[in-house]
Structure 1
Amino acid sequence: EVRRVVEFIRDVVLPKLEQTTEEIDSVVAALSGRHVLPGGSGAPTRGMVDILPTGRNFFSVDPFRIPSPTAWITGKALGDALIERHMNETGKPPESIGMVIWGSPTMRTMGEDIAEAFYLMGVRPVWNSRNGRIEGLEIIPSGELKFPRVDVTFRTSGFFRDSFPNLMELLDDAVAMVTALDEPVENNFLRKHVLTEVEELVKRGIDPETALREASFRIFSDPPGVYGAGIPAAIDAKAWEKSEDLGEVYITWGGYAYGKGVYGEDRREVFRRRLSDISLVVKNEDSREYDLLSSDDFNAYFGGFVAAVKTVSGNYPKAYSGDASDPDRVRYRSIQEEVKHVFRSRILNPKWMEGLMRHGYKGAGDLSRAVDISFHWDATSDVMEDWMYDALSEKYALDEKMQEWFKEVNPYALQNIAERLLEAASRGMWNASEEMKKRLEDLYLDVEGDIEERTDA
């Protein structure tokens, strides 16, 4: 067995890795109008050696083969891990959860998130034995399930909406199938919540058919042609006072319903009702090549979802970050645990910081953005502890060596770091000492003076 592995590395993996030099050649070829060889897409760190070498004009997937049988296995493992984590924390399974779905991970994993959602609702795909395409869904008998059917509300990205309209409809089919089951509501939380809402809507004078459709909306995204969640712009513009303001932004941007015969209808009030029932928000990651602090998109969709639930319900929901980077060992961390993990392993890691310092202006900007993104997460989800802000201040802003480097390569980045940390203190997000605030204020003024001298020269 060891011999086979070594031979595979020697004969397949190593030659493909040596060809990764083609990336720059391919970029030059594309800019010159020449042909770029096609290639598959995915994550090599998850064993997808076949997509190497990189530098190809990559193609994605057949959307009608999602989720794949392999993704179904991992999706079930994710579902079991989620239920187990929630049971260990609360003693009961979740009734209603919110799930963030993105397009790129769906392509890389062939639909592990979708598979997990189906499994939690208690349905499974039916694959065509000849071409692997999904022919439909079938109900998993309640006797086979380890938990009651879960009510899942989705917030998809605009890219997912555009790339996988078939999956939007398939998820909607799953909701209808599970709602129609004749089984006790204590075993079917989705049916329980839909029937309760239908009854309330009928009492308001809405006809039963319309009421059932409205009560069944579970798939939400941006309006057609719009992308994002609105959170980063609101935070950076300081157009907020409390997390509820950001929750309102999230609802405004993402309260548009999708499904069979429905495409981007403004259903923000329906979205509010869904948010009021949610006790857990989930987003999975399929690779450790990036994390919750890698870009502001993670907080925009995931942290924004958390803030939106708090806005409507008055309480922060639980929030789990799924780790499926090793499909054989999936796990869930709370976002508090995950952010601390990222802080200790990357954000405060001297080797990571030194690596960025080799990239001058751009590296300084990336360090500054790491502070911004940490602040963003705290604004929506209250995940930062005082020691984390203290560490950012000491290692990024107040260290003499770092100050000299920032001032040389990108003083604007240092100014932004000081300003952002002072904002956290002024908003009461960080209980900074008076001495710390004074040092940061002095630094900000010092850098501002340096910048003015440079621009006046």
Structure 2
Amino acid sequence: MHLLAAQPGGIQDGSEAIDLGQTPGDILVITAADTEIASLSMARKSASTEHPNLPSLRLANQMHLAHNMSVDLYVEDMVQHAKLVVVRALGGRGYWPYGVDEVARACQAKNIPVAFVPGDDQPDAELAALSTIAAEDAHRLWQYLVLGGPDNARGFIDCTANLVGFKVDYIEPRPVLPAGAYWPQLGAVGIEDIQKHWAKNQPTAPIAPIVFYRALYLSGNLQVIDDLVSALKDEGLNPLPIFVASLKDPISIATIDQLLDDTSDPLGVVLNTTGFAVNTPGNKRVYTPFEKRKLCVLQVVLSGGNVESWEENTWGLGPRDIAMNVALPEVDGRILSRAVSFKGLNERDENTQCDIVGYQPKADRIAFVAQLAAGWAKLKTNPSPNKKVAIVLANYPNRDGRIGNGVGLDTPAGVIETLRALKAADYPIADIPENGNALVDRILAGPTNALDPKNIQAAEHTLSLADYQTFFDTLPDTVQTKMNDQWGAPDTDPFARDDGTFAIPVIMCGDVAVGLQPARGYNIDPSKTYHDPDLVPPHGYLAFYVWLRKSFGTEAIIHFGKHGNLEWLPGRALALGADDFPEIALGPIPHLYPFIVNDPGEGTQAKRRAAAVIIDHLTPPLARAESYGPLKDLELLVDEYFEACGSD
């Protein structure tokens, strides 16, 4: 095992043993919250100007001490030489048992006062039993951190100084506003102040609440929120930033309700950056203020990892982010969008010998999320007669006899019923086929994955190679190289026609397009490549989605039935980037996906990689298949013949 020196600004995940490189200090504080470290660092600087001889302070992130060897070294070099140790243990002893036990053991052996306090706002009897300072003092330190804000951070600094013998006045913990509205450069404001900054030429533009933790507001780590506000305004939305203690906190819930009730403008979509879930599987559902108003909630990830790891690897996010920002929010039905910021070094505080880390925005991811939010808001607020929708049928294996296959679903019949339902809801529908067979017949009359040259040349809907090339040129160079290396130039694609266009496998039913999803490749075995994580799609594949998005102008895409192949294209597992093929094909288009209820694993792939809203359908009832059509008539004749042969 190698022991690594902590690199300034490095975001450690605990997988390697590291040396934080600190020198001993009078007071040690270990916490898992970067915002807390930033607040204490600022408070220590402020206190030092008034009291230059304050006891020395060292701050350490609990996440950097996840490896047992890191704990051993920190205990030996730091804990054993301190006059006071404060550990705010995220998740209690159960989350960091070795660290808690070793710090407690060392403090007991050296008779060093220690306070173990919970990482949240709930008391923890197990941690309290390990503390050796007075219960009243431990509770006070905990409340400073729970309540947060500059005043309480300063109170924490002054109080801990007193506990090691440096006499200085300190305030008692003070409650801080748990929730409220925020606006860049203004801080906490009322709704009327925010309305002054909304689009003057769009007074009824959809409102897009942005929900974020109060800790960001109190620490001033708000650049990502400010950038989201700007991006949403650019997309014609009226942002409403709201900071909360959590979505379970009653005061925060009441604040959200009040803010949403204080405006008569239409509510469009919610961008939520908080982690965890309001609900627990198996328990009675708790409806958030957003669900009560039937609002779509996009889960926007503020990643605890670093951008270098995200850029270099294919897993997208680390285990902690997946648990807190992806898996648990799925319980509440939130739509996973993208990671819009990553942790990075803001500054090195030599006084506390700690990196001050904060969320650093990623501009292109923020722009993508804003476009996705605008798409969902438009779907909610625009009248149905003005909407365009695309329905995409799967085709696996890539034979004409498997058009519209969906596991446990009569997909063609389901599409017909959907078209009729859309028409009843005033969507601009026309020319609905009589039944599922008629739908398939219309599709077969055009280009399909069978690549019949006659049908391709006779395609009714096309995309010019010039328009495709314009789109293709906007893609990252690495993406262009991969596609050209695998499939050659666009004009060599089987869907490319003699007249310089791509044939698009789609039929029109009014302003609803029903298309056949292209294969992931040609002259290959589809059974081996349908889920291939490395095979890039051919040009004809991208041309299909470019036509839907750019030429047709669809406002939503419905992939109908388990399952298509878009969510299996190469790229990150989740928190996609501009070089990931599901995003390249689908773009920031609202995505719906009727899917069989008994396959949540593959449905999760679509949710996490294609921001899909899964609409479950039940498994079909089982019945004896029997013969049908001419075969049934033949079977009857054979039975009659057999009986006749046995007669006298």
Q: Same fold (TM over 0.5)?
A: no
- TM score, norm. by length of structure 2: 0.23
Q: Which has the higher strand share?
A: 2
Return the structure number with greater helix share: 1
TM-score (norm 1): 0.29
